[in-house]
Structures are given as C-alpha cells and as structure tokens.
C-alpha cells in the first residue's frame, strides 16, 4: 500500500483498482492501521503518505535497489 502512494495521494477507489484481488474490508483495515501507525493520513478524500511514510519509502527503495543488485548472485555452497 505504501508503495502505491509514493507517486502521490490516491482515493480509496483508485487503491482498490491498483490491487483488484484485494478485498475492500482488507484494504480498509490496512489503511486504518497505517493511519494509526502514522504512516498515512487522509486529506480531502485522498490517502497520502505522512513524513514518516515518506521516510519509510526511502528504506523500501533501498531494499529494492539492494535486491536488484543482488538478484543474480548465486549463494555459495
């Protein structure tokens, strides 16, 4: 969910459309849990990242880059 908001705030219906396999009940629960944790906030009908959420995106992006750099590395046996 956090990754989907990196490019900017989105309405609930837009978030549902981005993950069609996600049940509405589950989406609602996740959004409210992330809001309670201070990662998201709802502004004028749009779910947006807070400053804390933006900081989390930096960490997630670092993990993504690490994974891309090491995807072809074979573990030693």
pLDDT of residue 25: 96
* C-beta of residue 39 within 8 angstroms of C-beta of residue 49: yes
- The domain spans of the chain are 3-69
pLDDT of residue 30: 96
CATH code given to domain 3-69: 1.10.10.10
Tokens for 70, please give them: 């090491």
pLDDT of residue 21: 92
pLDDT by residue for the chain (77 residues), tens only, comes to 888 999 999 999 999 999 989 999 999 999 999 999 999 999 999 999 999 999 998 899 899 999 999 888 777 77
Q: What is the DSSP string of 17-45?
A: HH-TTS-HHHHHHHHHHHHHTTSEEEETT
């Amino acid at each position: 969910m956090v990754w989907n908001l990196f490019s900017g705030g989105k309405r609930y219906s837009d978030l549902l459309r981005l993950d069609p396999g996600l049940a509405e009940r589950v989406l609602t629960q996740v959004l409210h849990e992330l809001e309670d944790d201070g990662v998201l906030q709802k502004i004028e009908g749009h779910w947006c990242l807070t400053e804390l959420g933006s900081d989390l995106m930096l960490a997630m992006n670092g993990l993504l880059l690490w994974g891309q750099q090491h995807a072809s590395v074979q573990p030693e046996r």
